[in-house]
Amino acid sequence: MLGLGQKFPEFKKLATVSLEKGQEFNEVTSEDHKKDGQWMVMFWYPKDFTFVCPTEIAEFNNSYDEFRDRDTALYGASTDSEFVHLAWRKDHNDLKGLKFPLIADTSKSLAEDLGILEEGEKIAYRVTFIVDPDGIVRWISANDLSVGRNVKEVIRVLDALQTDELCPCNWEKGQETLVV
């Protein structure tokens, strides 16, 4: 798996961005967040039309404004196609109003570059990356395929990283950082 302090791989992928006819898909690149001076959170999930994944995607969507307030581009990603993403969004009530792109890595090239492909089915593990505006990986969290992640923890860690200071255990935004 790609490690902390490493450069996030370059990519150019199609993503499902809307349910509006003719505006469903758009290209997303590794440069998009950098050119805007933003952080990036990219969370990977195994498959569309499953059970744990929509709970996470819906919670990221519920927290979308918190990521935007932190100058952070938010992306969901899996190895499913943009057409499968679109069909799932149309089919699942919690996914119809998504405010962020679902990246389609059908070639599995980005998942391979990240080192997050499961051995058997070659689907992506449930992994979250926080990447700074320079494209450097600053945090990685990986869960077993059967366990959903905690979106509040992703936001807490993003807040801590954005302080660029020493943050003690269980630190939350608004609390004192450590002074050495």
- The CATH number of residue 159's host domain is 3.40.30.10
The 10 Å Cβ neighbour count of residue 143 is 16
Active site (catalytic) residues:
53
Give domain status of residue 3, yes or no: no
Predicted TM-score (pTM) of the model is 0.97
Question: What are the backbone dihedrals phi and psi of residue 110, each rounded to the nearest 5 degrees, phi first?
Answer: -70, -45
- Model confidence band, residue 44 (pLDDT cutoffs 50, 70, 90): very high
Give domain status of residue 2, yes or no: no
Mean pLDDT for 150-173 is: 98
Q: What is the mean pLDDT of the chain?
A: 97
Query: How far from chain centre, in Å, is Cα 140?
Result: 11
* Count of the separate structural domains present in the chain: 1
Give domain status of residue 42, yes or no: yes
**Containing domain of residue 93, as a range?**
12-163
Give domain status of residue 1, yes or no: no
Give domain status of residue 17, yes or no: yes
* % of the chain with per-residue pLDDT over 90: 98
Give domain status of residue 175, yes or no: no
Give domain status of residue 173, yes or no: no
